[in-house]
Each structure stands twice: as C-alpha cells, then as structure tokens.
Amino acid sequence: MAKRIIISGGGTGGHIFPAIAIANALKRIDPSTEILFVGALGRMEMERIPAAGYTIVGLDIRGFQRKSLLKNLALPFQVISSLMKARSVIRKFKPDAAVGVGGYASGPLLYMAGMMKVPYLIQEQNSYAGITNKWLGKNAKKICVAFSGMSQFFPADKILITGNPIRKEAVDIAGKREEGLSSFGLSLEKKTILVTGGSLGAGTLNACMLKGLDRFIEEDIQLIWQTGKYYYKSILASVGDKPHVNVCIVEFLDHMDLAYAAADVIISRAGAGTIAELYVVEKPVILVPSPNVAEDHQTKNALALTNENAAIMITDIKASEELINAAISLVKDKQRCTMMSEQIGHMALPNADEVIAKEVLLIAG
C-alpha cells in the first residue's frame, strides 16, 4: 500500500531544496509514495514546489519580526489559524508520516501531527538547533542532523547523522569547467571567483563586491557575481550589466553546476544547504555568515568548517575591510587552495536524501 507523506517547511532555498531532494528520493525508492508539501503563504516555496512537480498547501504564518514589534500583533492569531489549517490538512490527507525541514510552516504542522499521533521526523540542517526544533524534537521519532555534537539539543537516541540533502544536479561538476566558463562569457586562462548570497541575495557580499570591483579588474581576476533578486536592479543601475569583460553579474544561478565548475574560489554565506553542496564540489571557500538569522547559526555552521581547516571565515562586520584582500590572496595561493579543497571534501555526506527518505519510510510503518 502506498505511503502518504507530508513534508513541511520552506522560506528560503536552504529549506526548499533539501525538502525537494527528500521528496525525489522517496519517489525513487517507491514511486507509489504520495507526497504533499505544506508551506507558508507568500514565501518562495509556494512557487518552487509546484515547479518541481509537487502539490503544496499554504499556511498563513510568519516568524517573529525583530525589527518591528507592531507587525507581531497578528502573530498569535496566525499561529492559531495555522494550527487549525494544519489539523484540517492532516485529517484530509491522512499521512503515514510527516517531515519538517525548518521554516515557518514546520512548527504548526509537526505540532499538530504529534497531537494527532502521526509519527514525524525532523531534518535539522544547522549546527545549532532553533527553539522550535528543540521543542518539537522531544516527540520526534527521528532527528536527522548534518553536524556532530547535536545531543546538546536533542535526545541522543533519536539522532542520526545524515548530512544535508543536496541538489544532485547542482554538484554534478565533473568535466564542466570549460562549459561553465563559456556559459558566463569568461576566459579559460584566468582565475575565477564565484560570489553567491543565495536566492534572495546578501547585502554585505554585494556591498563588498561593489567596493572591490576595481581591485578584481586590476588583478585580472574573473568574477561570477550572483546578486539575488533584492539587489540585482540596484547593482545594474550602479555598474551596468557588463562593467568589464572579466565580470558576469546575474540575479539567480539557474545552472549552479556550471557556476561551481567555473569557480576556483567561492565566496558565500554559511547556510547549511549551501555548505552541504560546498562539501561535495570541493572548492576552496570563504564564508561570511549572515548575522540576521536565529541563534547566529550561520557562524556556528562556518566554525564547523574552519575548525577542520576546510574554509576561511570572515565576520559580516569585518567583511568590508577584509573580504576582497582575502579572496585575491586565496585565489593566487595554489597550495592553500589544494589543501582546503581536500579538507572540505573529507566532510561530504552526499547521499543524505536517500538515507533520510529511508528513515521516513521506516517511521511510516
């Protein structure tokens, strides 16, 4: 009999891509598996999940707004409404198990799943668990994690180190360097730095690139600069869409494999999903953790790599002064690049999606 699985969460690509990877793995293991996604209305999962071929239901829920207390006045009502909607979805779909990948919708859905005796699994992506997942972890059947030392947050007997699910197509870079550089209109003969702040973009990384653009050009270093949708138009207005033959500016990277393949060095935020991909592509990386995340978990993610000499970390507040010099120095240091590539590769767990999917089917009975 076909299993019925609900996957909840989203908000950013870092939550959505692992969720889709788990769903795809479930379908590979048993094509008859029925999957329903639950996300937050107005968030990017409401577009990305249907585009991946799955059905999604939206909850009217948002997170706590630290910058505007007035915006939180409706939050209690949204939580109650989302719990009622989650209960209705579970009653209608009748899942055998539920999965939470993080994001606003995971909390109400998993809480109600527990109340309705539906077994659930948490996929904790970061090295520092958030408040909601710590609370939900008490009743979870299994908690799949990407970093060691997670027993400080969850019952040790429920933890399974799986790594984070990745987009397999994004890390399939073997033999694609020439194709990658050609796709961005760049030369095979020059060193190339990839800058990516995620699908929405990273203000600090973009500001640093604006400030250091002339330095890269002077050093004859190529730049693939993914701005994110929030910043793309303002950056084009500032420097144009092709400020130099060595510079390629894009809003979003549709073919991440080609960008990874083209890069000699990668500059990135330290989201857990991105780090999981960086493990597999084995390129030297500079991480600039975002300070605008709960419990500063990106810094803790980055430290897990720097403690193994697998990455360089520069704090957000120091990036303006240090990032450009560090990137230019690293891309010119062949020996250090080789060492960092080897170290980060040792940390890879490339089959997380299938390991997690099998655990989901186990708890589904």
Would you say 292 is a known binding-site residue? no
β-sheet bridge partners, residue 4: 34
Would you say 343 is a known binding-site residue? no
Phi-psi region of 167 (alpha: psi -120 to 50; beta: other; left: phi over 0): beta
Question: How far apart, in whole angstroms, are the C-alpha atoms of residue 179 and residue 74?
Answer: 50
Q: By three-state DSSP, how is residue 241 classified?
A: coil
**Pairing state between β 97-100 and 120-124:** parallel
Would you say 164 is a known binding-site residue? no
Question: How far apart, in whole angstroms, are the C-alpha atoms of residue 8 and residue 104?
Answer: 9
Would you say 163 is a known binding-site residue? no
DSSP per residue, 180-220: HHHHTT--TTS-EEEEE-TTT--HHHHHHHHHHHHHHHHTT
Residue 84 dihedral angles phi and psi, to the nearest 5°: -65, -40
- From residue 95, alpha-carbon distances to 2, 54, 80, 82, 288 in Å are 11, 15, 21, 18, 40
Nearby residues of 50 by Cβ (< 8 Å), 6 or more positions away: 56
Would you say 130 is a known binding-site residue? no
CB 246 within 8 A of CB 189: no
CB 272 within 8 A of CB 164: yes
Binding site members? 12-14, 126, 167, 199, 298
Binding residues for UDP-N-acetyl-alpha-D-glucosamine: 12-14, 126, 167, 199, 298
